[in-house]
Amino acid sequence: MKTLRDLGDVDGKRVLVRVDFNVPLGDGAVADDTRIRAALPTIEELRRRGARLVLVSHLGRPKDREPELSMGPVSERLAELTEAQVTLAPAVIGDEVLALAEDLTPGNILLLENVRYEPGEPKNDPALADALAELADVYVNDAFGAAHRAHASVVGPTRFLPAAAGRVMAREVEVLDGLLHRAKHPFVAVLGGSKVSDKLGVIEALLDRVDTLLIGGGMCFTFLAARGHTIGDSLFEESMVDTCRRLLKSGHDLRIPSDLTVLSPGGAFGAGVAPTGETRQVGPNVPDGWIGLDIGPGTAAEFADVISEARTVLWNGPMGVFEDPRFAAGTRTIAEAIAATKAFTVVGGGDSAAAVADFGVADRIDHVSTGGGASLEYLECGDLPGLSALRESAQA
Ligand code: ADP
Ligand code: MG
């Protein structure tokens, strides 16, 4: 896969960069600019090399062209983060946009409107890809978080323009590919989050590669049920029980919780809710009507021990409903164990990344992936549509 280095001279050239500026908004402003800041190394390198930049991203899932999902707030934040002059285009494509792109001076930025304002984007419409390619001489894809979608702005311009991966993309692929093919052992994966069905592909892909797989979060209850434990009203996916039973019997070192933190029947839980109900620690059997919402302290300590012996650790998915302080302890213990180990550590998944940020340990993790769905799909399949498009790009 080509990277920025392989692009050669871009001085004075227009470079279309697919970025991932799909940021959370609040009160008409960018609420968390992590993704914008992540793209700065690529943007700044191309500016230093004299490129004229056309940036394109999606934002949310607009059904129509709702103004609440305009790139306006992103454009304002981007202007604050770079010395460049940032112009927000009035649309994604069209004559007016083309004229703005042609007028760009070196080092300056034209940010296109939300690419999902175009119905051709999710359909991978070649006409949209062609119109985007018209705006530039070179295409760079730095939107790792969107690389699992075969959308027009992600895979299309590579058919028309010389193409390369930006710095975010190149680093993500280097790390995740390293996990799949060059991990140092013991290699420990910690998986949690809400659903087994969301993560089954990753579990299956990882089982043959890791030495130990630690399972917590909502998904552990289907495993506990498969082993014959009672799970009360905890999250449960009946259709996955047979699969979980098969995985438990596969002979791999797959560990599920031996204790849990549970909430009494009718208790309210979650981010920002008024906490009601009683919490209790139980062996892995959950009493009738109670809900398991975190791994227990014994399990957290056991998992932390396994992590401390590892040379490679991959973590995806919180161990409990960490948004509620009563059920955050398991996730915090794991986050701190991962921060403390000398192993090479990778965290993937939107909520897991939020958890390590919340607990203040993000800078002690070797790599926090910017793409939730994309990193899982890469681990599962070893490739993504956006990456294969870059590799197969006709030119460059
Ligand atoms: P990621 O975004 O890191 O991939 P997921 O989206 O799979 O993680 O899961 C995150 C969500 O899982 C969190 O909102 C958390 O509250 C929820 N969760 C964790 N443990 C449980 C549980 N025991 N019961 C219900 N939900 C849970
Ligand atoms: Mg999530």
- Compute the distance between CA of residue 227 and CA of residue 37 in angstroms, rounded to an integer: 45
**Ligand number, closest to the Cα atom of 199:** 1
For residue 178, the number of C-alpha atoms closer than 13 Å in the C-beta half-sphere is: 16
What is the average per-residue pLDDT within 227-253?
Answer: 96
Residues near ligand 1 (Cβ within 6 A): 192-194, 198, 217-218, 235, 292-293, 316-318, 320-321, 323, 349-352, 372
Q: Which atom of ligand 1 is least distant from the CA of 353?
A: 3
Distance 204 CA to ligand 1 centre (A): 19
Active site residue 35: yes
Residue 196's pLDDT is what? 82
Express each pLDDT in 91-128 by its tens digit: 999 999 999 999 999 999 999 999 999 999 999 999 99
**Ligand number, closest to the Cα atom of 317:** 1
What is the average pLDDT score of the chain? 95
Q: Give CA separation, 201 vs 44, 82, 90, 207, 352, in Å.
A: 37, 40, 41, 10, 18
Residue 199's pLDDT is what? 87
Which listed residue (159, 195, 311, 364) is catalytic? 195
Distance 170 CA to ligand 2 centre (A): 23
State phi, psi for 275 to the nearest 5 degrees.
Answer: -70, 120
What is the average per-residue pLDDT within 325-330?
Answer: 97
Amino acid at 141: N
Q: Give CA separation, 311 vs 65, 187, 210, 241, 251, in Å.
A: 48, 6, 11, 32, 22
Nearest-CA residue for atom 4 of ligand 1: 349
What is the average per-residue pLDDT within 62-69?
Answer: 94
What is the average per-residue pLDDT within 57-82?
Answer: 96
Distance 369 CA to ligand 2 centre (A): 13
Active site residue 228: no
> 3-class DSSP state for residue 75?
helix
Q: State how beta strands 254-255 and 212-215 pair.
A: parallel
Nearest-CA residue for atom 16 of ligand 1: 321
Active site residue 373: yes
Under the banding of pLDDT at 50, 70 and 90, the label for residue 201 is confident
Strand ranges across the sheet with 187-191: 254-255, 212-215, 187-191, 312-316, 344-348, 367-368
Tell me: pLDDT of 259 over 60.
yes
For a mutational test of ligand 1's pocket, the pick from 191, 194, 233, i.e. the residue with the most ligand atoms closer than 8 A to its C-beta, is 194
Which listed residue (13, 14, 18, 35) is catalytic? 35
Active site residue 350: yes
Nearest-CA residue for atom 25 of ligand 1: 218
Which listed residue (60, 178, 277, 350) is catalytic? 350
Alpha helix segments (H runs only) across the chain: 34-48, 72-81, 95-103, 126-134, 152-155, 167-181, 196-207, 220-226, 241-248, 297-308, 329-340, 350-358, 372-381, 385-391
For the chain, give the longest Cα–Cα distance: 68
Residues with Cβ within 8 Å of 347's Cβ and at least 6 positions away in sequence, in order, are: 314, 315, 316, 338, 353, 356, 365, 367, 368, 369
What is the average per-residue pLDDT within 322-333?
Answer: 97
